[in-house]
Chain A
Amino acid sequence: MKIVVTVKQVPDPNSNLTLEADNTISREKEVVLDPGDECGVEEGLQLKEAHGGEVILVSMGPERARDAIRKGLSMGADRAVLISDAQLAGADALLTARVLAAAIKQEQPDLVICATESYDGSTGMVPPMLAELLGFPQLTFAKKVEVAGSTVKVHRQTGDGYQVVEAATPALITVTAAIAEPRYASLKGIMAARSKEIKQVGLGDLGVDKSEPAETIEGVVDAESRKAGEVIEDDGTAVEKIVQVLAAAKVL
């Protein structure tokens, strides 16, 4: 079974994001493999361990995204494809999905695994676009995945429980953080990752033209911010104070 896992390098969620002068989110600081993608890699590896096959990481990003890819390879993925092209800076969701689809089509996988959403953008728009462009069904919000022959079955998290969703492969699944606890890379894995292939391709190699973005940014302003209220140390009277606020808000 051939499994592609999409991965992305993101600013470290444990550090505070900062803005550049042009109001874009700084990507120059500490960067890591997206924690959601780590779960995707883990699930891919577990499926490979159960059913055999190959786990291929596919990423779009600058040259330095190799560090994040290397992390996935250290966990045990077999090889990787990095789509890197200066023209892709600031790519919107559709362009991102188009280049990922072009690279993934060359691999002809049975299963594509994406995180439900990235940690930095958190819009979750790329996976359904990617599924459409690949011509695959999408099995989303998976907190559990089972493969039997050419059928993939997931437990899809919903607001009040879950749905059992089935499809024939090839298919795209998105996984939540509940799917699997990502393994730590062993020293052996880290050593082995050094010699694993990261194939780098550009837009020309994929035969993708840069598309017009869906939007033009006209301006950025500060949102109306809430004013900070009163901050008190709890000296034993905090509960009484909270009760007063609840009463004033007429919820008590």
Chain B
Amino acid sequence: MASILVYAELNEGKVASTSLELMAKARQLGDVYAVALGSGAKAAAGVLGKHGAKAVHVSEDSAFDDYIAEPATDALAALYEKEKPDLILFGFTSDSREVAGRLAARLGVGLISNANDVTAKGGGFVVKVPYFGGAKVASMKANAKPAIVLVRPKSFEASETGGAAEVKQLDVAIAASSKRAHITERVAEASEKVKLEDAKVVISGGRGMGGPQNFPLLEDLAAALGGAVGASRAVVDAGWVPYSMQVGQTGKSVRPGVYIAVGISGAMQHTVGMKTSKVIIAINKDAEAPIMKMADLGVVGDALKIVPALTAAVKAKKHG
């Protein structure tokens, strides 16, 4: 049976939701074990066990919290030598891809990124990768041993199996030469009301919003619906809103009950991050915009008039 190692990304000691999604898929592919690094790793092992890990390799060395990518790469390379997994799974997140990239280069094996499915086939693995904005899906046979695959968040649904993992202390000494890119300070900027990834309703704005001064209109609607505000890469690049709001291939992937795209044309880079939303509503002045072809309801009109009117109507309905 194939052995699968899942890299459990920890954010402030908590297992990232993407890592738990990976556990659900990994269970279908073979024997699953996980690695958790940094503060909270031991507690994380309990959570990972409930999601099907047979064993979890842990280290709470603070180097994993304080230095970018290199200590984790050292630990994974050492673990690979010891356990020789057939497949190492990472979430396609900004933190995980930095570790995966270094590890692949160190092992000299390459990797497959931006995947949305993995299946076992003929003793190896076939990975599905959406491209061309998700319009096409390529099936790729992983040639390397280990196969290193980075999977898009929200590709699978996490589920508990109720098991318990054996906790294995990972004895790896992190050399001073790997303690280089030092995180000396953490500054919180956005006080997120509802997290974009978890929101039941996401309202995203693009260039059609006209400028950053109009984003409060989206905030008002989000507040009325109990949702969160996202944005297209175009307006993030233009500096209207912070990167944390970007929905798309390298921004956040969201799968809300309702996604409202306001003034967003529907470039591929964007749609790959939101096309699995249950219901999509688009508001755009251009009836020919690509987003209109994937929306359940497309409204051709002036977003700056429609959005405030919609906010008022939502409030009226809630309190009426």
The interface on chain B, measured as residues whose beta carbon lies within 8 A of the other chain's beta carbons, has a size of: 95
Cβ B184 vs Cβ A164 within 8 A: yes
Chain B positions 280 through 317: 1 when the CB is less than 8 Å from some CB of chain A, otherwise 0: 11000001000011111111111001100110011001
Per the bound structure, the CA–CA distance linking A132 and B58 in Å amounts to 24
Whether B257 contacts A220 by the Cβ 8 Å rule is no
A227 to B290, CA, bound (A): 12
Q: Are B294 and A228 in contact (CB under 8 A)?
A: yes
24 contacts between A and B (CB under 8 A): A25-B131, A94-B111, A123-B250, A125-B150, A126-B101, A127-B101, A128-B98, A129-B102, A129-B105, A138-B68, A164-B183, A211-B108, A214-B110, A214-B148, A215-B110, A218-B126, A221-B137, A221-B139, A225-B294, A226-B294, A238-B306, A239-B313, A242-B310, A251-B227
Q: Does B249 contact A (CB under 8 A)?
A: yes
Q: Which residues of chain A have C-beta atoms less than 8 A from B306's C-beta?
A: 234, 238-239, 242
B19 at interface by CB-CB < 8 Å: no
Q: Which residues of chain A (98-140) have a CB below 8 Å from chain B?
A: 116-117, 122-133, 137-140
**What 1/0 flags go to B92-115 for Cβ under 8 Å of A?**
001001111110111011111110
Chain B positions 206-240 with a Cβ under 8 Å from a chain A Cβ: 225-227, 236-237, 239
Cβ < 8 Å to A, chain B residues 247-277: 249-250, 257-258, 260, 268-269, 275
> How far, in angstroms, from A242 to B309 measured CA to CA in the complex?
11
Residue pair B183, A251 in contact (C-beta under 8 Å): no
Tell me the chain B residues, 121-149 only, with Cβ under 8 Å from chain A: 126-127, 130-144, 148
Interface stretch, picked from B20-28, B39-47, B165-173, B185-193, is: B185-193
Number of A-B residue pairs having CB atoms within 8 Å of each other in the complex: 272
A138 to B190, CA, bound (A): 25
Given contact pairs A141-B94, A166-B182, A239-B310, A129 touches B101 in the complex (Cβ within 8 A): yes
- Cβ of B70 within 8 Å of any chain A Cβ, yes or no, is yes
A212 to B239: give the CA distance in the assembly, Å: 40
Is B181 an interface position by the 8 A CB rule? yes
- Report yes or no: B139 in contact with A219, Cβ–Cβ below 8 A: yes
Cross-chain contact of A216 among B97, B133, B143, B275 (Cβ < 8 A): B143
* Interchain CA distance A161-B29 in the complex, whole Å: 37
Q: Give CA–CA (A243, B242) in the complex, Å.
A: 29
Report how far A178 CA is from B142 CA in the complex, Å: 35
Q: Kindly state whether residue A232 has any CB partner on chain B within 8 Å.
A: yes
The size class of the interface chain A forms with chain B is 35 or more
Q: How far is the CA of A247 from the CA of B314 in the complex (A)?
A: 10
- Bound: A220/B128 CA distance, A: 9
Binding site for A on B (CB under 8 A): 68-70, 73, 94, 97-102, 104-106, 108-114, 126-127, 130-144, 148, 150, 180-190, 192, 200-201, 225-227, 236-237, 239, 242-244, 249-250, 257-258, 260, 268-269, 275, 278-281, 287, 292-302, 305-306, 309-310, 313-314, 317-318
A23 to chain B: closest CB distance in Å? 6
For A162-179 the 0/1 string (1 means CB < 8 A from B) is 111111100100001110
Contact B113 A234 (CB under 8 A): no
Complex: chain A residue closest to B305, CB-CB: A234
Q: Does A200 contact B (CB under 8 A)?
A: no
Closest to B236 in A: A177
Given A128-B69, A137-B70, A249-B279, CB of A167 within 8 Å of CB of B180? yes
A178 to B252, CA, bound (A): 18
User: Which chain A residues in 221-252 approach chain B with CB under 8 Å?
Assistant: 221-223, 225-226, 228-234, 238-243, 245-252
Interface residues of A in 186-208 (CB under 8 A from B): none
The answer to whether A53 has its CB under 8 Å from any CB of chain B is no
Distance from A96 Cβ to chain B, minimum over Cβ atoms (Å) = 10
B139:A165 contact, CB within 8 angstroms: no
Q: B244 contacts which of A139, A160, A231 (Cβ < 8 Å)?
A: A160
Among B69, B127, B306, the most chain A Cβ lie within 10 Å of the Cβ of B69
CA distance A156 to B98 in the complex (A): 13
Check if A217 is an interface residue, CB within 8 A of chain B. yes
Question: A241–B150 Cα gap in the complex (Å)?
Answer: 40
Which A residues are CB-close (under 8 A) to B260?
242
Q: Is there contact, CB below 8 Å, between A215 and B142?
A: yes
Given contacts A223-B130, A246-B225, A228 and B136 within 8 Å (CB-CB): no
Q: Which residue from B105, B181, B278 sits with its C-beta under 8 Å from A249?
A: B278
Instruction: Report the separation of the CA atoms of residues A25 and B184 in the bound assembly, to the nearest whole angstrom.
Output: 42
Starting from the known contacts A94-B111, A138-B70, A229-B296, 10 additional A-B residue pairs (CB-CB under 8 Å) come to: A93-B104, A128-B69, A128-B101, A141-B243, A165-B182, A213-B143, A216-B141, A229-B297, A230-B297, A233-B301
- The residues of A that contact B200 with a CB separation of less than 8 Å are 251
Q: Is A97 an interface residue (CB 8 A)?
A: yes
Q: Complex formed: what's the CA distance from A213 to B29 in Å?
A: 23
When chains A and B are docked, how far (Å) is the Cα of A35 from the Cα of B258?
32
Residues of B within 8 A of A97 (CB): 105
* A residues in contact with B296, CB < 8 Å: 226, 229-230, 245
A92 at interface, CB cutoff 8 A:
yes
Cα distance, A17 to B242, chains bound together (Å): 26
Residues of A with C-beta under 8 A to B106: 132
Given A215-B127, A231-B287, A238-B306, A163 and B183 touching (CB < 8 A)?
yes
Q: How far is the CB of B314 from chain A (nearest CB, A)?
A: 6
